[in-house]
Amino acid sequence: MHEMSLAEGVIQILEEYAMNEGFSRVKTVWLEVGQLSNVEVDSFRFCFEVVCRGTLAENATLEVIETPGRGYCLDCCQSVEHSQRFDPCPQCNGYKVQATEGSEMRVKELEVE
Ligand SMILES: [Zn+2]
């Protein structure tokens, strides 16, 4: 499952932060998930809970912030709303839209102790 490896990736990031900044527990994680990131939020939540067990983020609250997707249309040469990969351009209905925003997932903020 792809969400499982993403969740493991997030834990690794948290452990690196913990080492650099000297905290030992993570209480809340705010995670930005782009509309184009192909992350299934519900299954990600489940995986995150599983991989958190026995780590510094055990029982941490996960707050997911969904960020809108945007793309750049090569036909009409402008930035357009793009909420689904492979959707046509809302302006010209062309399929040459390249995702520019919202294809990532990142840790935005942490509450630690
Ligand atoms: Zn277009």
30 CA → ligand 1 middle, Å: 33
Give the residue-averaged pLDDT of 38-65. 96
Q: Would you say residue 77 lies in a domain?
A: no
36 CA → ligand 1 middle, Å: 18
Domain that holds residue 108: 2-68+102-112
**Domain containing 9 — which CATH number?**
3.30.2320.50
90 CA → ligand 1 middle, Å: 7
Q: Would you say residue 87 lies in a domain?
A: no
Q: Would you say residue 74 lies in a domain?
A: no
pLDDT digits (tens, 9 = 90+) for 57-91: 999 999 999 999 999 999 999 999 999 988 999 99
Q: Would you say residue 81 lies in a domain?
A: no
Q: Would you say residue 25 lies in a domain?
A: yes
66 CA → ligand 1 middle, Å: 24
φ/ψ of 74, rounded to 5, equals -75, -20
Query: Looking at the 3D structure of the chain, how many domains does it have?
Result: 1
